[in-house]
Structure formats: C-alpha cells, structure tokens
Amino acid sequence: MVHRVVVTGLGLITPVGIGNEAFWTSLINGVSGIDAISRFPADNLTTRIAGEVKGFSPEEFIERKEVKRMDRFSQFAVAGTRMAVEDAALDLQKVDLDQVGVVFGTGIGGMETFEDQTRVLLEKGPNRVSPFFVPMMIANMAAGQISINIGARGPNFTVVNACASATNAIGEAYKLLQRGGAQVVVTGGAEASVTPLAFAGFCSMKAMSTRNEEPSRASRPFDRDRDGFVLGEGAGVLILETLDHARARGARIYGEVVGYGCTADAYHMTAPAPGGSGAARAMAMALADAGLQAEAVDYINAHGTSTDLNDKFETMAIKEVFGDYAYRVAISSTKSMTGHLLGAAGGIELAACLLAIRDGIIPPTINYENPDPDCDLDVVPNNARRRTVRVALSNSFGFGGHNASVIVQRFEG
C-alpha cells in the first residue's frame, strides 16, 4: 500500500521572525532580516552582514541544563520541533511513539561548538576540552535531540547534503511515510553557522555579498548586480503524517506532499553543472513522481541564492523543464529576505510554499532593481502577489552537486 502524506505542523525560527505567522508576515511584506553581524566582531572580514535569528531564548523550549549541552543548531531544531508539534496539535501522550520518526537535515552541524572547543584546546590544553564536545558538535545530534525531547522511537537519521539537506530530508521523510515505515515524521533542517571560522571560509571563497553598507539590500537573487549570498541561520521544522493518521486524529492539513526528485551534478565541488542540468533533472523527477505536468505548478520557490552562476543556471533549468510555461509560472526567492540558511533553507522555504497555498499569496523576490537578461523569468519582483496557489515546487541545490526538489499541493480530501 502506498500512503498519501500530508503536512500538519510547522515550526519556524528564522532571521525574519520566530513563529509561523511572524515569518509569513515578514515575507509577504518584503521585510529583510539581513543586518550587521552582532554575534562576534567582524571588522576584519570582507563580509560583515548576516541573517541572524534575533530574540531566541532556548530556555522557552528546553530545560536550562539541557540547553548547555546543545549546540545552537540543535537548540534551533528542538525548539522548532516543539513549535511544530504544538502547531500540529499532536498529542504525544496519544500517538504510538514507535511510529514517530525523525529525518532531519543540516549542512554543517555544530560549528559554534567546534570553534569554541578548538580555542580551549589551543589555549588551555587537551584536558580542558569538554566531554560534551563531540556529542554537541556531530551533525546527527539535532535528530538525536529531537527524538530524546519528544520520545520519538521510530526511524531516525540525518541528511548532510550541504544546502540541499533539508529538502532531501523532507523528501526522504515523505518516501518513508509513503511506504509505511512510520506514521509521523519530524523533518526539515537546522543551521547555526554565523561563526568566525565559517565566515572566514566563505569569505575566502568570495562566495558572499560584500554589500556591507546596505545589509537589507545585499541579497538580490536574479538581479543583475547580485554579488553573492548572505549567510543566515535558524530552523524550519515540519510534521509529516500519513493521511490516514492525520484524519484519524482530526488534524488540520496545510497541504499534501506529492513529488520528490534528487540528483547529482557529478561535476564540481562548488559550481553547479552548466545549464543547470542536474537541477532540471531533479525538478523533472519530482513532477514525474507527482504525476503532474509542468503547467500544473503555480509557484516555484527557487533556490535563488543571489550568486552569479546559481541564479543563471537555475533559470536555464526551469526553462528546460517548463518550456514556454517557464515565462508564466510565478518564481521567487525568499532568500532575498532571510538570507541563505544552508542546510535549513529547504525547511523554511517549503513552509513558505505551504503558506502560499493556504493564503493565496506569493512572497516576492525583494531587491530586484536591475533585470539580468540571463534571468528573464517572472521572479515576483519586490511585492507579494495575490494568486491562487494549488501546486508549489521548492528547489534546493548544494555544494557537491546535490539537487533536490519537493512538490506540495493543496489538500483536496
């Protein structure tokens, strides 16, 4: 039996707001979450701006003792899970916890812990390194902490696919539920890499925007004057359930997951394959998995990083898959507001797709001022658009050539 899979809960911790409605209100109003870095001195870096999460208090969701034993990315993950469980009205006392799984993504994992304990090693010696160093740092610990926190004893694994991590995690969660491997899965991604070493590395790559004097205008996907991505942090957590399980408990449904595709470029460590060939195959696979024609898609939440090659090649990939319809489908990059959350990006971006379906509003690509002839599709420039959205596709592409696309549609019963 192949089970239908629906989304019943969202938990969002983002640079444009904590909580689903704060996040969504910011997006549809074109509010940027990019500002000068406040978490560490950045004067000696070429990029000094980021999408930081403001006002986050992990103690609101996690016991103080446990907070100290979690890296910031795991704190985001557990807090986002608590929010998503509440949003889904999922009573953990009444569900079979053996049938609750966790499939979670992160691109880098416990970077802050890694840097802190490296300093301890160099300054104070090996005997002062924390016994919690390794279990706080390792990338699977967000998934582990989620399961510990809510008692989920079902399948549990972590996807580490750079910027495609959360979208791959959601896709794998969908497939797990579809084949009956669980009844409920917590999925999405978390990232907390606004740290000195991570920034130094990305700056050395010349991958990030240096528009430091105009932070809110720095992330400008598809714009001719884009000069790199802006790093963000946070978590996007989704509760996926089999339709039978959701119906049995009378759950509210945001939408149905209907398609998933993932491919590899097999081309380069950081550059996308020419023409976006791998991205095109991922989108085509997702459409085939959903049994949909390209013309059925009303909205594409693009990977849209604000880097030269990504935006150009993603545009080419959409044209390859969607043909003439590519010029009529609405496309936007919410990274123009949130920055790029790396392994968490796909979580908050699929949430944006589901909220667009719910409200009939497509969030804009802000900072679109100068058209690029290589990026000539409808990127919903600068202002949200009211339009019925029945089907939405979310793209994520990562270093290493990882490509993932997920399709959600309005639940029709």
From 3, 203, 245, 303, the catalytic residue: 303
Dihedral sign, Cα of residue 240, residue 246, residue 251, residue 252: positive
CB 236 within 8 A of CB 19: no
Catalytic (active site) residue 203: no
From CA 389, how far away is CA 297, in angstroms rounded? Answer: 8
Catalytic (active site) residue 163: yes
CB 260 within 8 A of CB 33: no
From 163, 262, 353, 375, the catalytic residue: 163
Q: How far is CA 297 from CA 4, 16, 208, 255, 324, in A?
A: 19, 26, 31, 14, 13
From 340, 353, 375, 402, the catalytic residue: 340
From CA 349, how far away is CA 379, in angstroms rounded? Answer: 15
Which residue numbers are catalytic? 163, 303, 340
